[in-house]
Structure 1
């Protein structure tokens, strides 16, 4: 199990790298995260919804992603509540203050069922924790960290991010808040995102090992490329500058932005500078503006209107600008959005859209969750695009004025001028030829030569990044304490950690719901 001293320390990446490395060694790793909170989603082959991070870990392990690998998914809605997804399907909505009271037992049951499915893979479970495992006010009902580690007797590695600073306090503080039974599961420490000469950390490594009695399994370097973050708060950190970029594209960072990994193929283009903008920013200087998915489409549209981004976008398009919108962004492009049952807000209602495509969206109960292999009609007919739908709302084009983007109706539309494009297909930009054809239209307007269009699917580049991550783990990390139970250290006496066991957090080693 990969635990972290806090959110954002690199647990997802380390877990993915471990999966790829174990796969290389001839094992079958099986990734599993009992509970995740993320708006970066994926839909499996059976239409089950899961976090994108666990899909990425499945690809690293050579497996087809399955919602059982992430049996509990929480999707924040921006009002102190979250949609609760159990085993790929929406189970309801919970306010934060009610979650641990109302959803603990159903959540643990979903986790047990997910484990049953994953165990059928006949491999080694590689578990990822969530946030910090020692949030003492929540620890008694934490579903996915120490309870799960104890239930499975997992050998745990604690990851700390040295880039954030305070790495010694992160580690010592976390270990001090563990109970002895939890402390006995700790197999080692891992320092992540180290910059510079690693010998400079030798003294710190020795100090940690002497102070904790745990081995520092490795010091991972800063790898440069970043995988999709779990939290949209990390998006601004991903704005790598490309001095030689020929196109500048803007992505609107909406308040409830979702599925921001859709933009990764563009960020990976060497000739593209991708900037994440707030609704208050200007867009006139960009070659195209991208509207990503949204968990709360109407609320995000209202935020754009309050910042007058809607007016700026309309002027931008009228002046010749290009817009590409995905899912919730597509819904915003239309003329009207209807919410007759109050699914998007507390009360029923409707509102005007951006008016950039002649579309009408009506929000209805039930969520569309399915994978697609669609065939494009524009800009190059006959191009295959694979991806998935994940949305509330049905969109129609009741009047003429927009061409279907695919031979399959209802998936996407493009304006007659070809400068405004909207699609429901998450992952459409991963199709190399289609992405390059769209970029070449932008390049032509700038007088730039076209890029080659015979390029592979973005999955090939994702695989190279996973290989690079596995290479770093193989070179810099000693995995033996994780792979062999006899290598696990003995628990330190409680006196070494005077805060351990504070608050008298009571829960049994192996707990199961009634029945």
Structure 2
């Protein structure tokens, strides 16, 4: 059969596009179809390195997992990573091509981006039966329609039918649906074959009069109402979702994660929330750091500016003091901050030049302008300090960073077998000294034995019994959530538009 495309668009950001795409990938791959996700242009600070050593948004990685396939850079040909001052790093086919402001990208680069999108779409269509496409934001941004690279322009390019999803949890769901239809022209409206109402809590009978009226107004059916399910635990794409995660869980062990102004790859922390007795608290300027059992400094899209923020708010001083008593762990940019200084005299990341670090590890990071390291990586824990009992344990992750880190009188954390680590030619990654450690390996806590060892240290500090290494609740929960998501959609949505599409 020839390839078919279905597209999920939303009445707004966070309406549920990503998860509905994941559900459709799961459902139809289990029915025997070759299914692939696609998002032409994504703006996200949560990204991942594929086995091709290319960078794509984390949402497409989850969707590929749902489809049971390996993620590819063709599933997200254009990725925009916001930096500062209305500038984004532009990544095409998984590799950075430069930093651009809005006008440079939308006017000067748009044609190049569109060609990359076409190439990737054709690549997927030649290999899969069904392409499930995710839109971005809303298709009704009328000020941007002529520059669209993510919604209706892509629907026409792919000859895709569109399912419009709307979030009832935020209120005004019928107005958002009707408003979207009203603001689209007839050519765009004709692509929409049905509407899905997402995140519903309540009595469906009460909603029915509104559903009947909105079907009259739009002329398309409401294909389903998807219930809000608290049991679903899937990675978030947008840092805006962190507003809902100020404090999750009521475990006795409290891990404080510094919410940097330019935080990125915060899904690195997700597995900790699945550890028994552990709760994660996001720490902002002015928040108390007392009663924490560990501090994690995550990745950032601008190490130097966020390091300055830590100094100016007093968080740097508090972290330095607490490092005498509790573990402090840095990931990527967070690892760079733990050193003596960060040197950027060439202004490759900012105009601030050299900035003093927290001084908790005897190392120095230098930005040289040699380009971004993008790699899937693995290696072996060396041991020492906080991880003295984990020597020889194998870990894997992925690297997305600029800058190289030179160690002084401090032990590296990982012997790198694949990847770059501290220096571009590989060898060793991270550093560890007493209670303080850091790594360039994103996803380090996705390694079950590494995570369990770390949280067992915290348990023992609290006088709790350490846990065994017999079951990875994070991995089990992720699999359960994907299966549960597919079940919810199958039970509450009319899938006939997709089924009919596949019959033709």
Q: Which residue of 236, 250, 261 corresponds with 1:229? A: 236
Could you say which residue in structure 1 is the equivalent of 2:209?
Answer: 203
Give the deviation of 1:413 after TM superposition: 1.6
For the residue of structure 1 that corresponds to 2:354, the secondary structure is: strand
TM-score by length of 2: 0.92
| C-alpha distance 284-217 of structure 1, shift in aligned 2 (>3 A) | same
Could you say which residue in structure 1 is the equivalent of 2:366?
Answer: 362
Q: Which residue of 396, 402, 405 corresponds with 1:392? A: 402
Q: How does 1:72-151 map to 2 (within 5 A)?
A: 72-151=78-157
Which segments of structure 1 move beyond 6 Å, counting only runs of 4 or more? none
Give the deviation of 1:407 after TM superposition: 5.7
Larger displacement relative to structure 2 (406-415 or 332-341): 406-415
| C-alpha distance 280-344 of structure 1, shift in aligned 2 (>3 A) | farther
Q: Which residue of 430, 435, 439 corresponds with 1:412? A: 430
Q: Which residue of 235, 245, 265 corresponds with 1:238? A: 245
Q: What is the number of residues matched between the two proteins?
A: 482
Deviations 1:263-321 (A, max 9, x none): 11012224211111213322122111111100100011111111111011111112x02
Deviations 1:103-144 (A, max 9, x none): 210110110111122223222010000001111111111101
Deviations 1:18-49 (A, max 9, x none): 10111111111110000000000101111111
Larger displacement relative to structure 2 (182-191 or 277-286): 277-286
CA distance in 2, matches of 1:240, 1:278: 12
For the residue of structure 2 that corresponds to 1:163, the secondary structure is: coil
8 Å CA contact 1:40–1:230 kept in 2: the answer is yes
| C-alpha distance 101-331 of structure 1, shift in aligned 2 (>3 A) | same
CA distance in 2, matches of 1:6, 1:125: 22
Larger displacement relative to structure 2 (200-209 or 453-462): 453-462
Q: Identify unmatched segments of 5+ residues in structure 2.
A: 1-6, 418-426
Could you say which residue in structure 2 is the equivalent of 1:193?
Answer: 199
For the residue of structure 2 that corresponds to 1:164, the secondary structure is: coil
Could you say which residue in structure 2 is the equivalent of 1:45?
Answer: 51
Larger displacement relative to structure 2 (435-444 or 203-212): 203-212
Could you say which residue in structure 1 is the equivalent of 2:478?
Answer: 462
Q: Which residue of 437, 442, 449 corresponds with 2:453? A: 437
Could you say which residue in structure 1 is the equivalent of 2:24?
Answer: 18
Q: What is the CA RMSD across the aligned residues, in angstroms? A: 1.8
CA distance in 2, matches of 1:452, 1:396: 36
CA distance in 1, matches of 2:309, 2:246: 23
8 Å CA contact 1:362–1:393 kept in 2: the answer is yes
Between 1 and 2, higher relative CO (CA 8 Å, sep ≥ 6) is seen in 1
For the residue of structure 2 that corresponds to 1:298, the secondary structure is: helix
CA distance in 2, matches of 1:487, 1:183: 23
For the residue of structure 1 that corresponds to 2:498, the secondary structure is: helix
Could you say which residue in structure 1 is the equivalent of 2:173?
Answer: 167
8 Å CA contact 2:73–2:94 kept in 1: the answer is yes
8 Å CA contact 1:194–1:220 kept in 2: the answer is yes
CA distance in 1, matches of 2:256, 2:403: 26
Give the deviation of 1:434 after TM superposition: 1.1
8 Å CA contact 2:363–2:410 kept in 1: the answer is no
TM-score by length of 1: 0.90
Deviations 1:341-392 (A, max 9, x none): 2111136x21110111111111122111110122223331222212101100
8 Å CA contact 2:378–2:416 kept in 1: the answer is no
Give the deviation of 1:240 after TM superposition: 5.8
CA distance in 1, matches of 2:70, 2:302: 29
CA distance in 2, matches of 1:5, 1:481: 19
CA distance in 1, matches of 2:334, 2:452: 21
Could you say which residue in structure 2 is the equivalent of 1:253?
Answer: 259
For the residue of structure 1 that corresponds to 2:164, the secondary structure is: strand
8 Å CA contact 1:444–1:450 kept in 2: the answer is yes
8 Å CA contact 2:256–2:292 kept in 1: the answer is yes
8 Å CA contact 1:50–1:70 kept in 2: the answer is yes
Residue 182 of structure 1 pairs with residue 188 of structure 2: yes
Give the deviation of 1:199 after TM superposition: 2.7
| C-alpha distance 230-241 of structure 1, shift in aligned 2 (>3 A) | closer
Could you say which residue in structure 1 is the equivalent of 2:4?
Answer: none
8 Å CA contact 1:396–1:410 kept in 2: the answer is no
| C-alpha distance 148-19 of structure 1, shift in aligned 2 (>3 A) | same
8 Å CA contact 1:226–1:238 kept in 2: the answer is no
